[in-house]
Amino acid sequence: MTALVGVYGASGCGRTVMPFLRETLEADCEAVFIDDTPQRTEVNGHRVLTFAQFLARPQADKQVCIAIANSRVRATLAAKCLAEGVRWRTCLSPRALLLDSGPIGEGAIVSPFATIGANAVIGRGLLADLYACVNHDCVLGDFVTLAPYANCNGTVKIGDHAYIGSGALIRQGQPGKPLVIGAGAVIGMGAVVTRDVPAGMTVVGNPARPLVKG
């Protein structure tokens, strides 16, 4: 086999990514899971290796798809893999909708039935889960996470490491004046966002308001 491709993360996110990764692999590639603390030696018919075991395998061409929901962990693992000469693989499901989208950054994962709209620009390390939607003219920074059914209407700008929860809805911005989700912001599950969200803020509800911790 000429290439070894690892899905980094053998839990729920990784097990979701592996089936559509397989659809994009060349015939002579082997796919495995990578887990730093493996509980099993095999998951869904694929070997589970530690990172050290992955590096020790004989294939010269090693690639990794980082399937972990925590964006900070994704960034740390991406740096570790690149330092070891492991190529960061972009994984676009054949069943995703890419509608004249702009550039999609290295290491992005776009799941089945997710949509990237016209002229959207996607940074490095995106994780777009099932049925997530990034509509036209959106600009996403690095390591953005879109949970299932997250919906970003057109002309939205999302900063690095922002998290958009399941079923959240972000209102469309205006040409030249995008709605802005700041870096590291968290949009709660089912939230309806109608105005800008500052960096680092968590918002919840309909309409979305800052989360007040008791």
**For 45-94, what is each residue's pLDDT tens digit?**
999 999 999 999 999 999 999 999 999 999 999 999 999 999 999 999 99
Q: What is the pLDDT averaged over residues 159-185?
A: 97
Residue 128's nearest CA partner among 142, 114, 113, 143 is 114
Q: Is the pLDDT of residue 166 over 90?
A: yes
What's the pLDDT score for residue 35? Answer: 97
161 catalytic, yes or no?
no
Residue 212 confidence (pLDDT):
82
Sequence-distant (≥ 6) Cβ neighbours of residue 49 within 8 angstroms? 6, 32, 33, 34, 35, 38, 57
Instruction: Say which of 15, 22, 87, 136 is annotated catalytic.
Output: 136
pTM of the model: 0.95
Share of the chain above pLDDT 70, in %: 99
| Cα distance between residue 45 and residue 33, in whole Å | 10
Residue 44 CA to residue 35 CA, distance in Å, equals: 14
Domains of the chain: 3-89 (3.40.50.20), 90-203 (2.160.10.10)
